[in-house]
Amino acid sequence: MRQSATPSPTHRRKRWNKHLKRRHLRTSERNFVELQDRERLAVNGGVEFQSTPIGKFLEKINKNIRQYTPKNGELTIKQPPSFCLLKKPEQTLRQISKIYKSLTSSRTYRVNFIHTKTKEFCIGAELLLGIAVHEAKSGKKGLKGDFARGTLPKSDSYCEVLKGIGVIKQLDARADHLTQRPEKIHVFNRKKRGAEAASTSSSDSKSKTADDFKNHINHALRDHQLILTESTQHKIKGLIGEILDNAEEHAGKNTSNWNIAAYLNNNDSSKVLEISMLNFGNSISQNMESASEFTKTTISPYIERNAHLFNRTTLQTIAAMQGAISSANNSKSDTRGNGTLKLIEVFENIFDEYQQLRKGKSCCEMNLISGSTVLRFDGSAKHKKIESEDGSETVYIPFNNRGINYPPESKYIQEMKTTYFPGVIINLRLPLNGSITPLKEGVS
């Protein structure tokens, strides 16, 4: 009878102990439990995986992407130099998809992240990666021991993002890193999983989140000797509540799931306020496909006029960003739409006034990702306002420097070829590198 080439469990345990000694590590009961997991994996063929509700959305980002190959059940992932939804949205989403698909493999029981090469990052990418790793771990049945570990970057700022918002935070992991002055680090991180009645006026999680977010931004600006005016605080609170309401309303047949995060580290020499909001559900173009006949008729001329430049889903997304356009509107008297555009306008105004007060020289960066479309906002394509007969104003953003009746320019639009986000991601980055000399009045 032919003898099996697979070493016995005892022999494999001895080889593992020798490996630990070579790496100057001590054998412990915990390592032994992880070794038992390895043996069970070899016998049973892997760990059973059952996709979570969020996981089903993550699977849609890139359905055909190749996976990383684990070695002895462990996956080592070296994060790329650029991992940023503002700079490289399609590549970053593809990397997150590849990581998630690889972690859900029955052959993977542990992941080791190496962040040392990453120089360009954003909180939106780190938040989404953390969610992906958390959902992959949640779907693993009977998994023992630590699921994720990693090598921290040299950058203290990057470490703090990972600890406050990224994979370390999402997994409640421990990091061997000395925190910078914590009173100078402002982190806001909220999420909602499951169903609630849609209302910004009730004392539910959305209302509290909107109020806390407004207070967080105001508190973070105090290090810069600035405060938001009462009217701006009121606008931010109302618009955040509206966006979260829309996220729940447009979740489709699924329960609503959203995250909102903000981060400002005033220990850094380059101080940057970052905000990221994401929700899983329908893309904007999906909502426009199921919009009222009134809305479809309203946006149809715009789509037909520019069909030779961009695909239909991209043009639907652009049209939905315009004032007074909403999938729920049924007549001209309906005033819904568009909280996202108004929020971006508010933060652009905040940044413009900050530049005037503090003589800053950097530019703000903002984008919106939905489905296969990326819309960029950098302040150069200014919003246009049209005043109605009743005195009300409608805000438009044409994504060009001429007007809504002209085609959008490609520098503001990206159509992702292989990647799709099921929902909406909004990313904002506002550099705050100006003077901190006290002023008599705050930012308006």
pLDDT tens profile 295-330: 888 899 999 999 999 999 999 999 988 877 777 777
Q: Above 80 in pLDDT, residue 34?
A: no
For the entire predicted model, the pTM comes to 0.84
Q: Above 80 in pLDDT, residue 103?
A: yes
Q: Above 80 in pLDDT, residue 196?
A: no
Q: Above 50 in pLDDT, residue 41?
A: no
pLDDT tens profile 266-296: 988 888 999 999 999 999 999 899 888 888 8
Residue 213: what pLDDT?
94
Residues 81-89 have a mean pLDDT of: 97
* Angle, CA of 189, 96 and 151, to the nearest 5°: 75
Q: Amino acid identity of 239?
A: L
pLDDT tens profile 416-439: 999 999 999 999 998 887 655 554
Report the percentage of the chain scoring pLDDT > 70: 80
Nearest to 65 by CA among 37, 104, 21: 104
| Beta bridge pairs of residue 372 | none
For residue 408, what are the CA distances in angstroms to 21, 328, 381, 382, 427? 62, 24, 10, 13, 20
Q: Which residues contact 409 (CB under 8 A, 6 or more apart)?
A: 381, 399, 400, 401
Of 80-94, 104-118, 129-143, 429-443, the one with minimum mean pLDDT is 429-443
Q: Above 80 in pLDDT, residue 260?
A: yes
Q: Above 50 in pLDDT, residue 444?
A: no
Top-confidence residue, 27 or 123: 123
CB atoms within 10 A of CB 193: 13
Residues 354-360 have a mean pLDDT of: 72
Residues 153-159 have a mean pLDDT of: 88
Query: Rounded to an integer, what distance in angstroms lies between the CA atom of residue 375 and that of residue 207?
Result: 28
Of 49-53, 85-89, 302-306, 371-375, the one with minimum mean pLDDT is 49-53
Task: Return mean pLDDT, the chain.
Answer: 81
Residues 248-261 have a mean pLDDT of: 79
Q: Which residues contact 14 (CB under 8 A, 6 or more apart)?
A: none
Residue 333: what pLDDT?
65
